[in-house]
Structure 1
Amino acid sequence: MLLLGLLLLALLAGARLLWGQWTRRGLHLPPLAPGFLHLLHPNLPSHLLSLARELGPIYRLRYGLQDVVVLNSQQSIEEAMLRKWVDFAGRPQLLSSKMVCQHCPDLSLGDYSLLWKAHKKLSRSALLLGTRHSMEPLVQQLAQEFCERLGARAGAPVDIHKEFSLLTCGIICYLTFGSKEDTLVQNIHSCVQDLMNAWEHWSIQILEIVPFLRFFPNPGVRRLKQVVEARDHIVQQQLRQHKESLVAGQWRDMLDYMLQGLGQSRKDWGSGQLREGHVHMAMVDLFIGGTETTATTLSWAVAFLLHHPEMQRRLQEELDLELGPGCSASQLPYKDRMRLPLLNATIAEVLRLRPVVPLALPHRTTRPS
């Protein structure tokens, strides 16, 4: 019976593939790279760049039963992401994405729609307006405590990426939930790590290439579901506590601001109705999208500076000139950051050499372009 089922699924997959080739026979499509396991390559950015040298700046990859178009030049990316951004604003609804977005589509993985725009508007307002008075002093305070902790461990080995990751998670935790309690930060940090490891595991990624494997027992899927449940438990607990202590017209953090924003009319927020699940997934997005990306960038900055001590010296001279020699705490507000041109250039160079998300998230066209 199992063999018969596998044979049937293989025949269906072959028929779908042939039908797709038949329907596209008259189209002028970009060249197709041979093979179908490209996205499992261990160094995917370099692999895609090597394909661009062979096939040109725009080409296709086979990804399971569908084709993926790769844009690998500044000109093509600017045309798609800037001049025709609405045409490319959609998101493919991948199976793995649905597994981690059980409540509502989130901002990073949700498909483009008027409701998505309302979700984005509320989240952006909460980030820019609801916390603008507390963000910078908080970052300064936590960064100062972080430096003091590392200074107390001078001479001892340090996992700098983990330290940066905990620092970033603590900042996001305070901005979203109004708490920097060590236990909560540690729990959220562990959950983020577990979720990323489970999500990126080959047993989950292979489902995008061979979808029918989802009908077979998969320990990776079971593990991912367990981590998602643990994540949702933490967020739901914070949602419940904030709703119980919410004061109309006041907000202590982003969660307060967004919960009150749900009461806005459809006229204010666009078509559709924002629900508590949208707030839930906005919190998840901030932790998943903000913790490891920031920690990785800071870790690369440290690594580059360790190999370029002359840049460390020049940066220290610039800081001493603006803040005073031996100053232990930052006295330069973010709005005056251009007074430190070398530091700004160093950050830009780190991001150029090691982009936060080198391949960006996948896009789906909303109409023929």
Structure 2
Amino acid sequence: MLKWSINIQTILAGMSIGLFVYYVIKRMRYRLPPGPWCIPLIGHYKIYSSPEFHLKTAALAKEYGPIIRLSVGPQTWVVLNDINSVLEAMVTKKTDFAGRPQITSGDVFTEGGKDITLANYSASWKLHRKIVGKALRNYLQGDLLENMIQDNMNKFLDKMAEEKGPFVFKEYMDLIIFHQLYTICFGEKRPVDDPEVKRFIKLDNDLLEKFGSGFFEDVFPYLRHIFTTAKWKKMLVLTEEVLNILRKNLKEHKETFQPGVNRDFTDSMLIAKQEAKDEGDEAALEILDDTHLVQTISNIFIAGADTTRFLIDWFVYFMTRFPETQAKCQEEIDRVVGSKQLSMKDRGNLDYTEACIFETMRISNSVGFGIPHMTVCDSQVGGYDVPKGTTVLINYWALHHDPKQWKDPEQFDPHRFLDENGKMKPTKPDSWLPFSVGRRVCLGESLAKSDILLICANLLQRFEISLPEGVKPNLECHMKGFGMEMPPDYNIVVKERSG
């Protein structure tokens, strides 16, 4: 026992000395961005462990400038807090900052980086993204998306209409989005009370709770072999359950797949695999094996579900908080659409409603810091050196609340996105980046914008939405970790609109 204790102490002491020497050499070699002093090895624990990470880094930017350096355990992170530094890094030097850091928990969930979202920048990643983009376009062409949304919306709007008192809107939103994704990915229209869909929602919420606040093993990866936390063990179980659901559905699809018949997104990927096989494209086949396919579907499911449902939850919250804004949206919907079924063709005339959605994307912080970037080579931003392998974060809250870019940034004002004629401005403000920018811009941006508009417009076309009588809006949001803000818990009351 004594010998083992001495060995552990020796190892830790050696690691500490080695990291200290590395840190000194790095500081002498590079002109790193400024940042506050911290305890070696531990780093800026009170900052990176805080659910208000975005607010703390934005405050530091006022003291040190928009580009700040933080130590997260033995790792160096650089946080970009203004639009100029973000555009320089992600657009001007886009390839330099297109990597992804190897996060221990992410590596587990992606089965070794076999997905698109967390995979590092490489030739195979570019090919994988290209194939998925083509598959999405092929499947969602025509009026398929809007018919699918309308079908799902009608089922759950009918259920909402049966509510005679206050109810939690978020629970309906989760069901709408997950049922919709089941249809997109697997071509299935499941009953409203389907147990597998409900199980998937619970698993995703549980994983979000675990991922949102981070893992000790992510900061000190090597210690997971010495001391594994209960939280880490729980994450492993949840991850395997999610992947098993997707594996089961992929297996069933492969057994019923018919070349040339495209039932859903999974079929689109299987068709791409068949084409690669026919053409003898070994590079494409390598990223279209079962593991990659499951991970691709997982990206569509998890990323598509979470960003959409959280954003719409915020939108409905703002509609209850600002009933006069809701009334203006409904007046526009009545004038443009009337009582007929909403169509994608109506989108170009629903300017005020879309502006409210864009403003919701700005003022809410449902994306947090997004997915971390990593430099794939030595680079620079704002005159500072950013060494290869550095984790780089975009503080979207700072971008979307920058008083230099937005007048009264804390105010909900959809007119920011409208011209003097009440039409959507042809170009969005530079500092509005809910879908990120550069090489890692969201693959489903155009799909998400259409999807969210149709869902929100459908809700407002059918219902007047309000808080229960006597209840005032709660101005305190909930923090989910890593800068992600959620609206406060709230109930709504719906009243069917006439005609």
Q: Do they fold alike, i.e. is TM over 0.5?
A: yes
* Matching of residue 44 in structure 1 with residue 47 in structure 2: no
Q: Give, in whole Å, the separation in 1 of the partners of 2:213 and 2:329.
A: 40
Q: Could you say what secondary structure the match of 1:11 adopts?
A: helix
Alpha-carbon displacement from aligned partner over 1:2-47 (angstroms, at most 9, x marks no partner): 6435423431331232122232213211112333212211211111
In structure 1, the residue matched to 2:147 is 137
* CA contact 1:173–1:180 (8 Å) conserved in 2: yes
5+ long unaligned stretches in structure 2: 380-499
In structure 2, the residue matched to 1:354 is 364
* Matching of residue 58 in structure 1 with residue 67 in structure 2: yes
In structure 1, the residue matched to 2:353 is 343
Pairwise CA distance, 1:103: 6.1
Q: Could you say what secondary structure the match of 1:262 adopts?
A: helix
User: Which of 264, 273, 288 pairs up with 2:286?
Assistant: 273
* Matching of residue 240 in structure 1 with residue 251 in structure 2: yes
Q: Give, in whole Å, the separation in 2 of the partners of 1:348 and 1:319.
A: 17
**Number of residues paired by the alignment?**
362
* Matching of residue 147 in structure 1 with residue 157 in structure 2: yes
* CA contact 1:64–1:210 (8 Å) conserved in 2: yes
Write 1 or 2 for the structure with the bigger share of helix.
1
User: Which of 10, 16, 19 pairs up with 1:17?
Assistant: 19
5+ long unaligned stretches in structure 1: none
Letter in 2 for 1:258: M
Q: Could you say what secondary structure the match of 1:129 adopts?
A: helix
Letter in 2 for 1:260: I
TM alignment of 1:187-226, pairs within 5 A: 187-201=199-213, 205-214=215-224, 215-226=226-237
Alpha-carbon displacement from aligned partner over 1:108-167 (angstroms, at most 9, x marks no partner): 110011111121112222222123342211011212222221111032x32212221121
* CA contact 2:115–2:299 (8 Å) conserved in 1: yes
Letter in 2 for 1:286: I
Alpha-carbon displacement from aligned partner over 1:33-67 (angstroms, at most 9, x marks no partner): 33321221121111110111111011110011111
* CA contact 2:179–2:197 (8 Å) conserved in 1: yes
* Matching of residue 285 in structure 1 with residue 295 in structure 2: no
* Matching of residue 77 in structure 1 with residue 93 in structure 2: no
Q: Give, in whole Å, the separation in 1 of the partners of 2:269 and 2:182.
A: 15
Q: Give, in whole Å, the separation in 1 of the partners of 2:113 and 2:311.
A: 29
Q: TM-score, normalised by structure 2?
A: 0.69
* Matching of residue 112 in structure 1 with residue 112 in structure 2: no
Letter in 2 for 1:288: I
Letter in 1 for 2:351: P
Pairwise CA distance, 1:270: 5.5
Q: Give, in whole Å, the separation in 1 of the partners of 2:378 and 2:257.
A: 46
In structure 2, the residue matched to 1:8 is 10
In structure 1, the residue matched to 2:33 is 30
Pairwise CA distance, 1:343: 0.3
* CA contact 1:165–1:294 (8 Å) conserved in 2: no
In structure 1, the residue matched to 2:268 is 257
Q: Could you say what secondary structure the match of 1:109 adopts?
A: coil
Pairwise CA distance, 1:191: 2.2
Q: Which moved more, 1:101-110 or 1:219-228?
A: 101-110
* CA contact 2:128–2:284 (8 Å) conserved in 1: no
Q: Give, in whole Å, the separation in 2 of the partners of 1:64 and 1:11.
A: 15
Letter in 2 for 1:154: K
* CA contact 1:115–1:272 (8 Å) conserved in 2: no
Alpha-carbon displacement from aligned partner over 1:216-272 (angstroms, at most 9, x marks no partner): 142112211111221121111111111111101111011111122123168868678
Question: Identity of paired residues, percent?
Answer: 28
Q: Give, in whole Å, the separation in 1 of the partners of 2:282 and 2:25.
A: 40
* CA contact 1:94–1:208 (8 Å) conserved in 2: yes
Q: 1:344 to 1:201 in 2, by over 3 A?
A: closer
Q: Give, in whole Å, the separation in 1 of the partners of 2:284 and 2:92.
A: 25
Q: Give, in whole Å, the separation in 1 of the partners of 2:307 and 2:267.
A: 25
* Matching of residue 167 in structure 1 with residue 176 in structure 2: yes
User: Which of 337, 357, 363 pairs up with 2:373?
Assistant: 363
Q: Give, in whole Å, the separation in 1 of the partners of 2:318 and 2:17.
A: 51
Letter in 2 for 1:90: G
Q: Give, in whole Å, the separation in 2 of the partners of 1:118 and 1:267.
A: 15
Q: Give, in whole Å, the separation in 1 of the partners of 2:203 and 2:131.
A: 25
In structure 1, the residue matched to 2:461 is none
Letter in 1 for 2:52: N
Q: Could you say what secondary structure the match of 1:60 adopts?
A: strand
In structure 1, the residue matched to 2:442 is none
Alpha-carbon displacement from aligned partner over 1:196-220 (angstroms, at most 9, x marks no partner): 2233355xx2222233431214211
* CA contact 1:33–1:62 (8 Å) conserved in 2: no
Q: 1:335 to 1:44 in 2, by over 3 A?
A: farther
Q: 1:206 to 1:103 in 2, by over 3 A?
A: closer
Q: Could you say what secondary structure the match of 2:76 adopts?
A: strand
